[in-house]
Amino acid sequence: MLKNNLPSLLLLPAFALTLQSEALADIKPDGFNLTYGQYLPIRSARNADYDNVRIGLVWEWEEPLYQWDSVQLDGFFELSGSRWNSTLKSKNKSPNSASEIWAVSFSPVFRVMPIRPLWENVTPFIDAGVGGTWISEKDLEKEKTSPINMGGHFQFEVRLMAGFRFGNEQQYELRYGWIHYSNADLYKHNESMNFHLVTAGWYW
């Protein structure tokens, strides 16, 4: 499914980078976040379990991409590093597979949000993004004889999240959602990974 939609999905980060390149001109980030997530078992036949701890830096876009009467399409760039750690409790773990994986990701993220806070200092939003990720290992631990074969070190990162900004200067953020990793059949093998995560962010 992702392979069929890849050409159109790749237009999103290219579009964002073209219009919002000034946001990266200033090397100083605008915010910082911490994320904790767990493996999401979308494939019922696969027995695996992972924790995901992630730290990210955020560069907010200089101007919204589009504004309606009360809603705007805004966004940010995020550079993050994460550690996936297998917590699988099984005596039949796949051989020659990694239980610890390090990942580095970069993604433009589109954000739909009200122009003004809806409840005092609280502003809800919905995020969607497509980016790229490098993972340190290709074969990941699961139960039974064969590992999760990610195919290669490069993966696409697709996210869908929702949350809210709050504080007197909108300096705090909480969000929850889903992140998917796969290579869109760039390699011979393409077994995906999915996480659900909660993120706490601070902006200055």
Residue 7 belongs to what H/E stretch?
helix 2-19
CATH number for the domain spanning 17: value is 2.40.160.20
From 54, 32, 79, select the one nearest 197 (Cα to Cα): 54
Q: What would the pLDDT profile of 189-203 be if each residue is shown by its tens digit?
A: 999 999 999 999 999
Q: Around Cβ 13, how many Cβ atoms within 10 Å?
A: 20
Let me know if residue 28 belongs to a domain.
no
- Is 17 part of any domain? yes
Query: What is the domain count for the chain?
Result: 1
User: Does 155 fall in a domain?
Assistant: yes
HEC string of 151-182 equals CCCEEEEEEEEEEEEECCCCCEEEEEEEEEEE
Asked whether the beta carbons of 39 and 195 are under 8 A apart, the reply is: yes
Looking at residue 98, the DSSP 8-state letter turns out to be: B
pLDDT (tens digit, 9 = 90+) per residue, 171-191?
999 999 999 999 999 999 999
Write out pLDDT tens, residues 15-62: 666 656 665 666 899 999 999 999 999 877 789 999 999 999 999 998
